[in-house]
Structure 1
Amino acid sequence: MTTIAKTQAGTEFEENGRKTQTLILILTLLAFLVRLWGISQHSYWFDEAREVLRSLTTWPDVLFVTDGADPPVYRLLLFPIAQITTHEFWLRLPSALFSGASVYLVFYWLKKLNLPRLGLVTALLMAVSSVQIYYAQEVSQYSFTVFLALLLLITYEQAGRSGAVRDWVALTLVTVIALYSYYGLAWLLPILDLHLLWRVWQKRDKQQWISIIVAHVIIGLSIVILYFSMLSLHMNRFSTNKDLEPLFVNPGWRASLRQFDDFFLDGFVQFFVAPFSSIPWRWVPQVFVLLTFAGSFYLCRKSKVSCLLVVYFWGTVAILFLVRFIGIYPLGGRYGLAVLPLFFVLLAAPVEGLRRWPILAYGLGLALILLQVFFWPRLAGSVNPWLTLPLESLRPAVEYLNEQAAPDDLVFVYYGAGPAYKVYQQDSPLETVYGSWFRDRPLAERLAEIQQAVDQRPRFWLAMSHIYQTEDEELLGGLAAGEPGYVVIDSYLAENAAVFLLERSP
């Protein structure tokens, strides 16, 4: 009887496992399809266009582009695509692929930790995550960052558990790729490394010590090379252009510590749950803070393994706060995406913890899903009035310009439209002048630069995008009142983008 019972239990486990595997594959496919919905509807916005231009750099110069804020691995992934096409769909597709793959990967990771139910709920939340979907439709390294964060969690766990040579090779390779992809991933490593050292020390195995030393020597050498090739320049840029004055200087370390809850609320919770939104009710993100606390409490009571996930999350958040505290790296937002998978684990934990009360569990899970759906990028403006995404539509404006412009027309490209205009007009025969970055310069200086570039021509085109507040109205008014004056005689207005044909006043 005992043998029969064990056989039946084993068969049931295998059947449930197959059903779960099928479910997660369907969920991953649906997540990928959602990320493709409207992926090429909008033009490249400012940051995207700059990334496209970096990817268009010739080989091997693409390895050493330093005008961006990150090292080159993601550019290398885009490089072969950009040599063939610069269409939005194809250059955004890698982001969608990595974002969709992360849904499966988070389940795989938690299943390896013997937490399959938690993995399924977390995968579901990540599948509908608004911030994941937003970055899945952007030419940027941020979906790749979440994917690499999960690979780091998996490889460090596997190396600590089995310690086979292939596991140490995988750990070293993934860590080097992560460091050469996005600096923000570095802040996940200290807590993972401490736990790994503890596990190796517990094994008392000489071979394991050799493996961890060799892995860290290789990783250390890669960091040294990265520092001298790019990181030193970028650290200086962060400290000068990102307004990262150390928090212990102003407003002081005591005040900074007291503000930690606000940093966490705005920098992590609200951005991860409702990115680029202006929710009028402060209690909404506060509820999610309470859910992360509840999830932390539940996981620490559940098992030692699940409690480690809590330590990983809060330990990494503390490290991110520390590096911002001393003024060397920004805090939260896209700079904190390394902890996004762990954040969703904590959100999923209360849903699993309520499984004894199915109505409450399903109710909480449904509420979390609906809130994420409400902040999907495709619902901005039409359904969700609090969602203001940095979307721009310069491409149709440029197409209109090309149809209407005379061969001898001059185009002045205002600074915000510069990167996208260069992408869309790579082979344009029109004479083009690109404005300097002068958002912070007085209006008179900006007008003077345009007047100097135009040089009293009878007419010219003004291309604008990435428009800040009412600077388009200020410029057009200033040009009309200038000497000589220029008035708008034709225009094409799109979402946060426009082209104007201006003619000199009599």
Structure 2
Amino acid sequence: MHGSSQEPTTPEATAPAADGWRPRLRALWDSPRLPAVLIGLGIALRLVQYASRRSLWIDEAWLALNIINRSWGRLLLPLDFCQGSPIGFVLLAKAAVVAFGTGELALRLVPFLAGAFSVYAFWLLARGWLGRNAAIPALALFALLRFPVYYAAEVKPYSLDVLWTVVLYLLFTPVLNGETGLRRLLPLAAAGVVAVWFSYPASFVLPGAGMTLAVVLLLRRQWAGLARAAVMGGAWAVSFAACYLVNLRQLATNPSQQDFWQHAFVPLDSLGGTAGWLRKAFMGLFQRTLGLPTSAGAAVVAALLFAVGFGVMLRTDRRKLAALVAPGMLCFLAATLRMYPFRGRLLLFLVPGMLILIGAGAARIAAARSHRAMRLVGPLLLVMLFVPTAGSALAAALPPYGHEEIRPVIEHMREHRQPGDLVYVHWGAYPAFEYYRQTRGYDFELWEKGICSPRNPSAYVQQLQEAVTAHDVRRVWFLISHDRAHERAFFESALEEMGARHHRFRAEGASAYLFELDRTAP
């Protein structure tokens, strides 16, 4: 060591220095604090999103109006505005509103708590199924990924879907390992009966993992355990049937939902169309569901590690692999039958299983030392996956993820309005406008709810002209959000023909325009 410090330019001198980072990296990797740091980071990122109190956007606002304005009993009936949400989630959100008020933090409390707790629960699952080394990269992704973080602060049940999936897999773990006594089956049976009322995708996780369990018990000739599992499955089926009659039936047969999600159903009109859809759907799992960055190739790397992890578990633990894959296959079958969309946020419940496979693949790549190429390619792939993912997550923390920041726009209009001003509320802005009008007491003397007519925009002008004439106003505020690409330009052009644009205020995803009308114009 002394000689190396005196001759730093020789190969012998530089070798220890070059190797110095490896022991430190190994010490960091082996540190018992690393899982706690990653868990804390995941919870902190979710807390930042939750505490930011971003404005409710259209989907949240529709559901929030149901939660706020309906009684407990009426929440059991089909929801207004073509909304569909598990009864258990809606009732929990109602309880939070009753306890803490009608603000954004109260409405998002249940998703946040579910998202925060799911980080720790996922670590327990990944460590139990993969071992520590493969569980660490899976946990890191779970902590950082965009959509698991984002949906932990949205008035939607997707964060709860993830938590229920993890909890059910945790309860399945000892049973898949052959422990089929009542002490193991009763908690799983009870959780399954309850889960379908809080999470629609539990209806895929339970039969998917349940069928895997049945095959395992059948091959082992554990007839007593198979009989108990059959009773458990019967209890799940009864609970699901009741949930379907009370809650799911109206959603499954809703033509508006079918039309909205038509591109998320498997097309069967041609072989080429189906193949193209499958390719996009597979990559969509990594881009739209996990929310991995696409510019740096992180989504492609994740897909590669997913495939490697699939191969690893196919050789090492087919029971758990089947339990992970079967729910996704059932979901795909439902999409083929046009019963459940296979896209984006509705597949967030697949994230835990996907990350377990990616973690297994990452560990296998990192451990590959047989070829010099793999010693170089393996670390490069991991860097391509984790660096942009971490950068995206940390960059989004300040500022937090935004969507349709309509609250500051409404507040700006309220501060700058004059008596007699008319507010024309674009149809896409109406749900959030109505939510804030009710909960914040924003009292606009004159306002008009815009019709929804994106295919016939001339109807907008007719409605606006009728409102201006009926109220005899000279100043019109135009509030717009969640608009189609052509609507904003059309409105601006039509209003400018009626008068001069006096003022404009913009926020992310929302805008307000003030026009002073020329009453002499035709």
Fold match (TM-score > 0.5): yes
Preserved contact between residue 298 and residue 384 of structure 2 (Cα < 8 Å): no
1:352 deviation in Å?
Answer: 1.4
Spell out the pairing of 1:83-98 with structure 2 (5 A cutoff).
83=98, 84-98=100-114
Preserved contact between residue 424 and residue 450 of structure 2 (Cα < 8 Å): no
1:104 — aligned with what? 120
1:53 deviation in Å?
Answer: 1.9
- Give the alignment partner of residue 91 of structure 2, picking from 50, 70, 76: 76
Confirm or deny that 1:295 pairs with 2:309: yes
Q: Tell me the alpha carbon deviations over residues 146-181 of structure 1, each in whole angstroms, 9 at most, x when there is no partner.
A: 111111212223344423435333223332343223
Tell me the distance in 1 between the aligned counterparts of 2:53 and 2:151. Answer: 14
Preserved contact between residue 422 and residue 448 of structure 2 (Cα < 8 Å): no
1:226 — aligned with what? 243
1:4 — aligned with what? none
Preserved contact between residue 102 and residue 146 of structure 1 (Cα < 8 Å): yes
Preserved contact between residue 188 and residue 316 of structure 1 (Cα < 8 Å): yes
- Sort the Cα spacing of 1:119 and 1:43 in 2 relative to 1 into closer, same or farther, 3 A: same
Spell out the pairing of 1:248-287 with structure 2 (5 A cutoff).
249-250=268-269, 252-253=270-271, 255-257=273-275, 259-265=277-283, 267-274=284-291, 279=294, 285-287=299-301
Preserved contact between residue 299 and residue 385 of structure 2 (Cα < 8 Å): no
Unaligned runs of 5+ in 2: 1-26, 370-374
- Sort the Cα spacing of 1:352 and 1:226 in 2 relative to 1 into closer, same or farther, 3 A: same
Q: Tell me the alpha carbon deviations over residues 215-239 of structure 1, each in whole angstroms, 9 at most, x when there is no partner.
A: 3333222222222222121112243
Tell me the distance in 1 between the aligned counterparts of 2:307 and 2:414. Answer: 55
Q: Which amino acid aligns with 2:261?
A: K
Confirm or deny that 1:450 pairs with 2:461: no
Q: Which amino acid aligns with 1:79?
A: K
1:123 deviation in Å?
Answer: 1.2
Tell me the distance in 2 between the aligned counterparts of 1:433 and 1:217. Answer: 54
- Give the alignment partner of residue 35 of structure 2, picking from 24, 46, 52: 24
Q: Tell me the alpha carbon deviations over residues 348-406 of structure 1, each in whole angstroms, 9 at most, x when there is no partner.
A: 113211236588766544442212123338449999xxxxx761211111111221223
- Sort the Cα spacing of 1:377 and 1:231 in 2 relative to 1 into closer, same or farther, 3 A: farther
Confirm or deny that 1:52 pairs with 2:64: yes
Q: Which amino acid aligns with 2:60?
A: E
1:463 deviation in Å?
Answer: 1.7
1:249 deviation in Å?
Answer: 4.3
TM (norm. structure 2) is 0.80
Tell me the distance in 2 between the aligned counterparts of 1:314 and 1:216. Answer: 19
Spell out the pairing of 1:131-146 with structure 2 (5 A cutoff).
131-146=147-162
1:193 — aligned with what? 210
SS at 2:428 equivalent:
helix
Q: Which amino acid aligns with 2:101?
A: T
Tell me the distance in 2 between the aligned counterparts of 1:444 and 1:134. Answer: 37
Q: Tell me the alpha carbon deviations over residues 14-63 of structure 1, each in whole angstroms, 9 at most, x when there is no partner.
A: xx9xx876543332222111222254253122122223222213222223
RMSD: 3.2
Tell me the distance in 1 between the aligned counterparts of 2:431 and 2:183. Answer: 43
1:374 — aligned with what? 391
Preserved contact between residue 460 and residue 502 of structure 1 (Cα < 8 Å): yes
How many residues align? The count is 473
Q: Which has the larger radius of gyration?
A: 2
1:505 deviation in Å?
Answer: 0.8
- Give the alignment partner of residue 191 of structure 2, picking from 174, 187, 207: 174
Q: Which amino acid aligns with 1:26?
A: V
Tell me the distance in 2 between the aligned counterparts of 1:81 and 1:99. Answer: 16
1:214 — aligned with what? 231
Preserved contact between residue 489 and residue 503 of structure 1 (Cα < 8 Å): yes
Tell me the distance in 2 between the aligned counterparts of 1:209 and 1:139. Answer: 40
- Give the alignment partner of residue 152 of structure 1, picking from 165, 168, 186: 168
- Give the alignment partner of residue 514 of structure 2, picking from 478, 501, 505: 501
2:200 — aligned with what? 183
Q: Tell me the alpha carbon deviations over residues 303-351 of structure 1, each in whole angstroms, 9 at most, x when there is no partner.
A: 22xx334334443333333222232221131122221111111211132
Tell me the distance in 1 between the aligned counterparts of 2:263 and 2:280. Answer: 17
SS at 2:367 equivalent:
coil
Tell me the distance in 1 between the aligned counterparts of 2:193 and 2:453. Answer: 37
Confirm or deny that 1:474 pairs with 2:458: no
SS at 1:425 equivalent:
helix
TM (norm. structure 1) is 0.83
2:346 — aligned with what? 335
Preserved contact between residue 248 and residue 326 of structure 1 (Cα < 8 Å): no
Q: Tell me the alpha carbon deviations over residues 163-213 of structure 1, each in whole angstroms, 9 at most, x when there is no partner.
A: 343533322333234322332332233321111212443565665355334
Taking every aligned residue pair, what percent have the same amino acid on both sides? Answer: 22
Tell me the distance in 1 between the aligned counterparts of 2:124 and 2:399. Answer: 36
